[in-house]
Structure 1
Amino acid sequence: MAGNIFTPVSSESPPIPSRSDHPVRRDGVFTRSAPMDDPRQIPLGSPAEYPLQTNKFYANMLLGDRSNSVWTHPYSVSWAKGRGNAKSWGISISHIERHQLALGPLKPSGAVQYFINPVGIQSMILSATELDPSSVLTTDSLTAFSVNVNLSQAGFPPLITFPLLQGMGFVTALYKSCRPLIQSSVLFRGMEPAGSLRNITSKFRAFLEDGSIWMIYLTPYGGHRESLSMVNNTTLQGRDGFGGMIQVAKLPKGASEEIYDTCAGTYAISCDLSAEVSDDNCQYHLKWTKSGLQNPLLMFALPHHASSFDRNTVMAVRNLHLQTTTKGLAVAVMSDCWTMRERLPIDIGFAPWHPAKGSITNVSPAATRTIRAVGEKEIAQDFLSQCCLDSMYFSGKGLAKFAMMLFVLRDLVECPDLVQSGLEKLKQVFAVFISNKQPNPLAYDQVWKGVISIAGMKDGPGADFGNSWYNDHHFHYGYHVYAAAMIGYLDPSWLQDLRHTSWVNMLVRDFASPVCDEYFPFSRSFDWYHGHSWAKGLFESADGKDQESTSEDAFASYALKMWGKVTGDRNLEARGNLMLAIQARSFPTYFLMESKNNIHPPQFIGNKVTGILFENKGDHATYFGSNLEYIQGIHMIPLNPTSALIRSVQFVEEEWNTYFSNGRCNQVDGGWRGILYANLALVNPKKAFEFFSQPNFDMSWIDGGASRTWYLAYCAALAGL
């Protein structure tokens, strides 16, 4: 096995102007001046100046009034802020069962429009008598997997700290010399002491009016035997001056308490990611740093984790399951470290690719003639007008379109004269971006520490799909990175100019930095716990983070892989391959729903794609329209060599038969028709080739981010024509 593949891409300062006027301020974010294992020494340090995560699960704790929920899976937590029956100022905890879902109206397909989990159910609340309407919430130690949330009286050190991590087995609160309140707006039916664990931890059972049972564990820092008194049906109260931890966990019906008892008193405070690669085999690890008592650590795994566990991790899985909101059943794992194994798609390159055939680099003489004739016309188009736009997203799509076209003309149909002229035009347009002279230049944001378009600074948060607020960076910048990889492939001398590589590496580091460095956070977009990226940036969201395009998510990973390949950064190439392998596992599990899908409600899977998948709901829709071709097609674009990796034949056939077969595709207008037919190539490439090669072809059927040249080559290659 090679060493850890998470190595820096670069440490250079971004080669663009900086600005420090981002409208979203990083208020209430601090460093920590004492270790987390003893909250009696909890005073916070100065305001944090390190790069902050913008697209992670806890963003709602940083934005607006900080009262929207945060999903750790299987639980969600939120700042109660005096709401609910308990009128508490602590952190409320919710866990939703499948029967609590709300379903949307039926669509013509017979599937429901959406499913959504209720929010605001305060099953348990961890608070203190000292908290009141003047209390404040702060955060510290923000990483890709974890954050500390602190509650305090205004102007004083934290009274309670909550280390929040994805998959945490308990919701843990660390108290500093105050009187604990354990509350419920669902209301307590009763509470009973359940003994002592190892003469350290006091155990209680709480029975709620909804029939659920919650376990409560109090582990003091002294040798006290703790007690709780039931004040009323909303409040349990501990002793004054309590210092230590309180943990709560929901007991599934019929489950044993033994697993919780074994692990109580221990909690995770952070997580490290590492991976090693040997040929096409990779094992990657999530390793938690734990604190508290030296008991086994309890964490919950999602279905895509469990399906890739190595043998040792499988042995740590326990028979304890809790439903998540949008990721199926989570399973308990009693281990400080998980190891997952993936087979890497190392044979995917720039050429069309098929799982059984690999990369396909030849097409027939007849197909070559057809492709050349079309390519001659398309390569003569005005590159600048299609690529130098006021949108980083649409500019990137244009650049990638011409890059794919150039590959076809050089490697598949051998038109060197056309390639040379087209490559020079592509370089000239790319130079506009490297010199930062596009209509909306980029700037390095010193507040959140990332690369943003100035479009939003002029025209508001929604400009260019929210790029300035850190939306969609993997979508936008992935196209640019891919185009740069193609230029470097076609002309390796282009890579010798450090202006070129520095600019592209800047984009790579913005959305996919393998480390947290002085300028960028680790892995802004890709969530290594969920196995896919989140597109939403610095926007409050009642339903959490979301993403609506799996295909563009995978394309961004593919761009990283290919940039690593052409620049000789083998670790970057390996990371891109690993992300693709994980996406090939997570997308069919959570987004692209075959009829056998058991993750989402059965009433919803008939939609075939989730549309926009949030942390708390699935909505068969898009942000830009409700046409079926939009909803399905946004999970197809751009058709590229990785499409056959992430979109199974079974899925594509089911989707096509549900929505587009029997001539229905021909009722779709504009570029979406071309997208749908290019996608058909995954199961019927001959029919797709016939569509794109028809003599009366209407060029309005080609999307602005695609070319007929690439579509013809792609279909011909997969069809063996």
Structure 2
Amino acid sequence: MSHNDHFLFPKVQSSVLSDPSLFFSRNLLSSPLPTNSFFQNFTLKNGDYPEYIHPYLIKSACSSISISYPSIFHNPPSIYQKFVRDLTIFATDKTTSASDKSHVITSYSDLSVTLDIPSSNLRFFLVRGSPFLTCSVTRKTRISIYSVHAILSVSSNSSLTKHTIKLNNGQTWIIYASSSVSLNPSVSLITSGGFSGILRIVVLSDSDPTCESIVDHFSYCYPTSGVAVLTKSSCVEYKWKKKGWGDLLMLAHPLHLDIICKDYCNVKILENFKYKSIDGDLVGIVGDCWMLKPHQVSVTWHSIKWVNEESYAEIVTALAKDVDSLDSSAITAKSSYFYGKLIARAARLALIAEEVCFLVVLPAIRKFLKNTIEPWLDGTFNGNGSTDSEADIGFGVYNDHNCHIGYFLYGIAVLTKIDSTWGKRYKPQAYSLVADFMNLDCLSNSNYPRMRCFDFYKLHSWAGGLTEFADGRYQQSTSEAVNSYYSAALMGLAYGDTHLVATGSTLAALETQAAKKWWHVKEGDNLYGEEFTRENRVVSVLWANKRDIGLWFASPVCRERRLGIQLLPISPISEVLFSDIEYTRQLVNWTLPALGREGVGDGWKGFVYALEAIYDSESALKKIRKLSGHDNGNSLANLLWWVHSREGKCYWSRVLPFSFVIAA
């Protein structure tokens, strides 16, 4: 993803982007800056919107850092965590600073961000999954700690290195100091004498009566940063840098616990040491190196089960009509998103034609793909997103780059497969598109930021771009995110690039498991509470700090759209995303009554019937045959291919096309 990213598309000066570089230290400005990171709010406008850095909401404002151990509010329309300034830490006496910003980002990585407060001597190591907030006081400084709650008591040990703070909201916080410091409490403010060294701040969880003794034991070792490494064995390895002495205590979310290799690096799981979170309970893990091994994913051009040969005729008839309707000159779509969907739709027709041995249509599809893809790769796109932040669904402000580009990569992969000469000609441009959202480098000479959309702690992608949101980044369509990495893996197959195949496969596997964990709401699950689970089978928009049932483009009553946006585009990888047949049945049964509303389009109905085909292909086929239209990224041929491959058999006697499987 980096060896071919020297190609650059024409640059366009944006008039709608903010300048996030204002919050970064100068030594970081030589590298492309992140645009969808877990700390993005710290870089936008005033930088004073909170971010969720598990297990705390952190807010930087007025040269201070506020920490909140949030309460979770459940109801059918949404679930959210409320930010409250439980504790606010700042220097009592401000120093003179050349910067007028509340904070400066001095370093960041996959699992951490470090904030310096220019008007003081305070540096905060914000490391994801640390139960402690760690502050380095670089010079002797008087510290103040404010709370919106009444401070009931402050008690200290004899060495003045451990201070226990009880608040009237029921919380108990502990402050550990690397050397003696005296605290002077009042009703809502605690002040200290001069101090330099390390402060570690932690709230006691009420999940385990031994919580205090555990944090006592691990208070001496603190993380300063953390990186994620994709290994050759298709795993993700976490490595934290630490200081102090003893073992490192961190917190794992539910997906971590599903895929962590428990025997690796002697990690120890503290099953009763838990912190509540909107993502599910965070559980204590002892160890500064983790290995995460996602489930196996097969990346293949064609259906996993194959199509029944008896069904070829019906598919071929639809295929001939769908191909005959291809006309690049008739396309009216201007945005990269809707244009890309049309490209990927045509590419699907080529692969279906291969699978049902109807190769006569390939020249027409190849011509269409060339005519539609080449103008974008040749740089004739006018950059309309640079002057209109709403154009291209926010592509110009770095929203949803993986989803948009993923559709193009699918078309490029298929066209390269059927026309290797074309693929060789446009390989630099193709790899530059991949690198836009899948660059693994952290080097200053890279053209793109590291992993623009993918979050190595949450293990899924984020959207939002350079837009400030009160609840952090969000993701709406998990299936389009999966498609982006799947398409990159297919492009690797087309070019014979095993590294790209492995990387795309691993990310697609992680994205898939994250979708099943946090978007797919099964009956009887307790992750989101009884009321939300009773009323919903899918999360529509997942924010860092909230779960919404409404879509950006539809209200909650549009269940067919809520289902469809988590399925489209339909391709072989869809079978992996919806491998849980019982959940799929629940989702379809929850959705079907909504199809009776006036104005429900056949395009969205097609996605509902496609999922129904997983467990009842006969019923779904009858309904699909009656549809009068399809989503602009879908087709009758694609739906028929999908239904008939639900009941297909593997014909091992035939020569199968090459596929790539990563070990789980």
Structure 1 length-normalised TM: 0.84
**1:320 positional shift:** 5.0
Secondary structure of the corresponding residue to residue 413 of structure 2: helix
> Equivalent of 1:424, from 340, 364, 367?
367
Question: 1:383-431 deviations in whole A, cap 9, x for unaligned?
Answer: 425667310100110000000011111x222222211122122112211
1:17 aligns with 2:11: yes
Describe the shift of the 1:419–1:665 C-alpha distance in structure 2 as closer, same or farther (beyond 3 A).
farther
Secondary structure of the corresponding residue to residue 311 of structure 1: coil
Secondary structure of the corresponding residue to residue 691 of structure 1: helix
1:309 aligns with 2:293: no
Describe the shift of the 1:74–1:711 C-alpha distance in structure 2 as closer, same or farther (beyond 3 A).
same
Question: 1:32-67 deviations in whole A, cap 9, x for unaligned?
Answer: xxxxxxxxxxxxx55623111110111111111211
Aligned to 1:181: 144
Look up the equivalent residue of 1:175 and give its one-letter code. Answer: V
Alignment partners' CA distance in 2, 1:164 and 1:531: 18
Look up the equivalent residue of 2:436 and give its one-letter code. Answer: D
Secondary structure of the corresponding residue to residue 104 of structure 2: strand
1:15–1:502 Cα contact (<8 Å) kept: no
Secondary structure of the corresponding residue to residue 148 of structure 1: strand
1:325–1:615 Cα contact (<8 Å) kept: no
> Equivalent of 2:65, from 80, 91, 113?
91
1:63 aligns with 2:44: yes
Alignment partners' CA distance in 1, 2:396 and 2:346: 26
> Equivalent of 2:112, from 143, 146, 161?
146
Pairing 1:374-385 to 2, within 5 Å after superposition = 374-385=318-329
Aligned to 2:466: 538
Alignment partners' CA distance in 2, 1:386 and 1:299: 56
Aligned to 2:240: 288
Which runs of 5 or more structure 1 residues have no equivalent in the other structure?
1-6, 32-44, 82-88, 104-111, 353-358, 442-453
Aligned to 1:84: none
Look up the equivalent residue of 2:309 and give its one-letter code. Answer: S
Aligned to 1:364: 309
**1:526 positional shift:** 1.0
Aligned to 2:660: none
**1:578 positional shift:** 1.2
Secondary structure of the corresponding residue to residue 90 of structure 2: strand
Alignment partners' CA distance in 1, 2:346 and 2:364: 12
> Equivalent of 1:566, from 471, 476, 494?
494
Look up the equivalent residue of 1:95 and give its one-letter code. Answer: Y
Question: 1:68-124 deviations in whole A, cap 9, x for unaligned?
Answer: 10111111110243xxxxxxx5201001244xx153xxxxxxxx11122212x1111
Name the count of aligned residue pairs: 636
Aligned to 1:236: 190
Pairing 1:470-619 to 2, within 5 Å after superposition = 470-497=398-425, 500-517=426-443, 518-606=446-534, 607-619=536-548
Alignment partners' CA distance in 2, 1:429 and 1:79: 46
Aligned to 1:436: 379
Describe the shift of the 1:132–1:116 C-alpha distance in structure 2 as closer, same or farther (beyond 3 A).
farther
Secondary structure of the corresponding residue to residue 524 of structure 1: coil
2:135–2:198 Cα contact (<8 Å) kept: yes
Describe the shift of the 1:144–1:385 C-alpha distance in structure 2 as closer, same or farther (beyond 3 A).
farther
1:206 aligns with 2:150: no
2:111–2:228 Cα contact (<8 Å) kept: no
- Greater displacement, 625-634 / 203-212: 625-634
Runs of 4+ in 1 over 6 A off after TM superposition: 132-135
Alignment partners' CA distance in 1, 2:10 and 2:525: 46
Aligned to 1:4: none
**1:234 positional shift:** 1.5
**1:21 positional shift:** 5.7
Question: 1:245-291 deviations in whole A, cap 9, x for unaligned?
Answer: 2111111122432221222243222222223345xxx4321111123
Alignment partners' CA distance in 1, 2:168 and 2:46: 30
**1:135 positional shift:** 6.5
**1:560 positional shift:** 1.6
Aligned to 2:35: 54
Alignment partners' CA distance in 1, 2:150 and 2:497: 57
1:9–1:572 Cα contact (<8 Å) kept: no
Secondary structure of the corresponding residue to residue 82 of structure 2: coil
Aligned to 1:167: 129
**1:378 positional shift:** 1.1
1:630 aligns with 2:561: yes
Question: 1:192-213 deviations in whole A, cap 9, x for unaligned?
Answer: 01355xxxx8111110111111
Question: 1:463-491 deviations in whole A, cap 9, x for unaligned?
Answer: 21111111111110011111111111222
1:654 aligns with 2:586: yes
Secondary structure of the corresponding residue to residue 147 of structure 1: strand
Aligned to 1:3: none
> Equivalent of 2:199, from 225, 232, 246?
246
1:534–1:545 Cα contact (<8 Å) kept: yes
Alignment partners' CA distance in 2, 1:425 and 1:77: 50
Secondary structure of the corresponding residue to residue 581 of structure 1: helix
Secondary structure of the corresponding residue to residue 206 of structure 1: strand
Question: 1:210-269 deviations in whole A, cap 9, x for unaligned?
Answer: 11111111114xxxx222221x122212222x2112111111122432221222243222
Describe the shift of the 1:238–1:383 C-alpha distance in structure 2 as closer, same or farther (beyond 3 A).
farther
**1:704 positional shift:** 0.4
> Equivalent of 2:338, from 384, 387, 394?
394
Alignment partners' CA distance in 1, 2:378 and 2:495: 21
The CA RMSD measured in Å over matched residues stands at 2.3
Secondary structure of the corresponding residue to residue 432 of structure 1: helix
Aligned to 1:706: 634
1:310–1:339 Cα contact (<8 Å) kept: yes
- Greater displacement, 382-391 / 572-581: 382-391
1:52–1:142 Cα contact (<8 Å) kept: no
Aligned to 2:656: none
Q: Identity of paired residues, percent?
A: 24
Secondary structure of the corresponding residue to residue 596 of structure 1: coil
1:113 aligns with 2:87: no
1:14–1:506 Cα contact (<8 Å) kept: yes
Look up the equivalent residue of 2:506 and give its one-letter code. Answer: L
Describe the shift of the 1:257–1:24 C-alpha distance in structure 2 as closer, same or farther (beyond 3 A).
same
Aligned to 2:182: 227
1:335 aligns with 2:287: yes
Secondary structure of the corresponding residue to residue 529 of structure 1: coil
Look up the equivalent residue of 1:712 and give its one-letter code. Answer: L
Aligned to 2:657: none
2:110–2:228 Cα contact (<8 Å) kept: no
Alignment partners' CA distance in 1, 2:36 and 2:642: 34
Pairing 1:256-295 to 2, within 5 Å after superposition = 256-278=211-233, 282-291=234-243, 293-295=244-246
1:689 aligns with 2:618: no
